[in-house]
Structure 1
Amino acid sequence: MPVVLREARDTLVPDMAGPHGPLPPLMLALTVLTGLVDAFSYLLLGHVFVANMTGNVVFMGFALAGAPGFSLLASAVALVSFSAGALVGGVAVHLARAHRGRQLQHALLAETSFVAAALIVTLVSGEPYTGGVRFALIALLGLGLGLQNAAVRALAVPDLTTTVLTLTITGTVADSRLAKGPGSRAGRRVLSAAAMLAGAFVGALAVLNGHPSLPLLLSAVLLAAVSTAATLLARSDAPWTKPPAGR
């Protein structure tokens, strides 16, 4: 079997006795979620991301320069909300620092509540999402994705950050044999990019076909499934549950 396919297989069906146990496929599921929520926020909340903060910093620069279609306030609300979520997530994962399954469980249960609240807002308010409704959605989703990122950072599964793909893509090329590197782990890295692409595609397809709440509904269902898995994994005492060295 080619190395790339073997790496992809090992990510989707990991060795339960390995250093990260069942975490890789769960990280891929959360990467799909990132694509879903950012498709919703960018297309319906006015050129703002709730998961990828690099984009918001760039958008703030655009807004300051007077570029049409970009809101300094919306990007700032996303940044502040995301940071607040990361703070709460940091507390949650540090309280459960001895067990990676519990770290994931605590963060995802909180994230699910925020995404579910955002879904309810969309259903109650109806489209278009403007004024206070718009900022409430940005805040709720920013809080949820900040929580997710805090947990993912603590879990430290290589190449599966669930949001940042720039370094992942760079590593795929820079570490390749063609670049005289040690090996690109392309199977896992390509899966990560494909997962975000799939989430963004499905989210955009739903929005463009008149189903604005569907990306958040799918996100809530996905989070419920991953949270259930994390709750079951929180009972495990396998080696992967121990935090990585230095964490």
Structure 2
Amino acid sequence: MEPPSGPPLTVIMVCLTVATGMLDAVSFLALGQVFTATQTGNLLFLGFGIAGQGGLPVVTTIVSLGAFVLGAALGARMESTLAAREYRWFPTALTVEAALLAAAAVAAWESGPAPVLPPGRRGVAIGLMALAMGMRNVTAMRAAPADLTTTVETRAMTALVSGSRVGHDARLGYGSHAAGRRTLSVVAMFTGGLLGAGLLGLGTRPTLVILLVAGFVAATAFLVPGLARRQQRNGKGEGKEKGKG
């Protein structure tokens, strides 16, 4: 079964983008200056760290990058296999993501703030979160919602400006209805980062923030099949009405 399309898919992806911002807030602010989703930043951090500048970690950045790549490979294998067998690859992928995030929370459970978190457990938590985000990128690319990758906003921001009255580039969406979707994508990432940082600032344990995101992703996975079936029924109903007309 394919994921829902149109507005339902847009809503799902916007919400998952918020979740991404929350996770990166936890990984960077509470687990030690490393991203688990925004791997462009990690590539730069790795370069800075190897050069010995900025006091940035090298080992945890490598762990995140490696786990992300592994997650992308495993996600591609799993989702393509499920799709070939006509199984529900989209909600299954979200369920696995939620399970990995829950495992990451367990790895850092009752550990307090990052300074007292043992390096080994911090590495495991970062690795599991990055593994989940690698799979998420595959899921988003397979679902193919325009301007909604759920983890990268540079392209959406560029398209938003270029396709606006300021950029006036018809090839990049000027005159279309893409601006709203692109704006939602950018705002969602900002909101997720703000929410994650705000929760940490209020004294919420990082593990609880991760669990909150895991629960949200799991709930989304539970709701997706129903949304897809409803959309299919509505599509069939509209097709019958047109046939009668």
TM over 0.5: yes
2:243 is aligned to: none
2:182 is aligned to: 189
Higher alpha-carbon Rg: 2
Which is worse superposed, 94-103 or 208-217? 94-103
Cα deviation, 1:165-192, whole Å, max 9, x if unaligned, reads 0010000111223323222622111111
Is 1:138 matched with 2:132?
Answer: no
Aligned partners of 1:36 and 1:200 also within 8 Å: yes
Deviation, 1:233, is 4.3
Aligned partners of 1:105 and 1:231 also within 8 Å: yes
2:58 is aligned to: 72
Aligned partners of 1:40 and 1:204 also within 8 Å: yes
1:207 partner letter: L
Q: Give, in whole Å, the separation in 1 of the partners of 2:55 and 2:126.
A: 16
Cα deviation, 1:143-199, whole Å, max 9, x if unaligned, reads 111111111011110011101100100001112233232226221111111111111
Q: Are the structure 2 counterparts of residues 29 and 199 from structure 1 closer, same or farther at C-alpha, using a change threshold of 3 Å?
A: same
Q: Tell me the C-alpha RMSD between the 2 structures.
A: 2.5
**SS, match of residue 90 in structure 2:** helix
Number of aligned residue pairs: 224
Aligned partners of 1:42 and 1:48 also within 8 Å: yes
**SS, match of residue 238 in structure 1:** helix
Aligned partners of 2:25 and 2:196 also within 8 Å: yes
| Mapping 1:58-69, distance limit 5 Å | 58-69=44-55
1:122 partner letter: A
Deviation, 1:123, is 2.0
2:90 is aligned to: 104
**SS, match of residue 217 in structure 1:** helix
Query: What 5-or-longer segments of structure 2 have no aligned partner?
Result: 236-245
Deviation, 1:138, is 0.7
Deviation, 1:99, is 9.3
Is 1:207 matched with 2:200?
Answer: yes
Aligned partners of 2:104 and 2:125 also within 8 Å: yes
Give 4+ residue runs of structure 1 displaced > 4 Å after superposition.
98-101, 233-237
**SS, match of residue 178 in structure 1:** coil
| Mapping 1:1-247, distance limit 5 Å | 20=6, 22-97=8-83, 102-127=88-113, 128-182=116-170, 183=174, 185-212=178-205, 213-233=207-227, 235=229, 238=232
Deviation, 1:59, is 0.2
Query: What 5-or-longer segments of structure 1 have no aligned partner?
Result: 1-17, 242-247
Q: Give, in whole Å, the separation in 2 of the partners of 1:104 and 1:181.
A: 34
Cα deviation, 1:60-119, whole Å, max 9, x if unaligned, reads 111012123311111111011011111111012212336999221121111011101111
Aligned partners of 1:93 and 1:107 also within 8 Å: yes
Q: Are the structure 2 counterparts of residues 137 and 198 from structure 1 closer, same or farther at C-alpha, using a change threshold of 3 Å?
A: same
Deviation, 1:126, is 3.7
Deviation, 1:45, is 1.4
